[in-house]
């Protein structure tokens, strides 16, 4: 996932460095811009995952009737 969205790597693991008030204001701005870009990338990835999960759920819902019918046939064959 990081290879597809390198912005994810820009989010610092230790947030204390990003919030250091002793940094040059321009540096703080650069850090915050990097964080915004990383969060935007993260939102994009999560949105794509949500879209795929919804597609998968719709596919399963669409197959429900077929699955139920096959289960009924299997149960009937097992009784014979």
DSSP letter at 9 equals G
- pTM given for the model: 0.55
DSSP 8-state assignment for residue 8 = G
Q: Are 43 and 7 in contact (CB under 8 A)?
A: no
pLDDT for res 23: 67
For the chain, which residues make up each domain, given as ranges? 6-79
pLDDT given at position 34: 93
φ, ψ of residue 23 in degrees (nearest 5): -75, 155
- Per-residue tens of pLDDT for the chain, all 80 residues: 667 766 766 666 555 555 555 668 778 998 999 999 999 999 999 999 999 999 999 999 999 999 999 999 999 998 87
């Amino acid at each position: 996932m990081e290879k597809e969205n390198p912005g994810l790597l820009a989010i610092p693991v230790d947030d204390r460095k990003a919030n250091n008030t002793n940094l040059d204001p321009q540096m703080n701005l650069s850090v915050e811009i990097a964080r915004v870009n990383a969060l935007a990338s993260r939102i994009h990835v999560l949105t794509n995952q949500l879209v795929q999960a919804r597609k998968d759920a719709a596919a399963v819902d669409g197959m429900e009737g077929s699955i139920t019918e096959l289960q009924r046939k299997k149960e009937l064959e097992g009784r014979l």
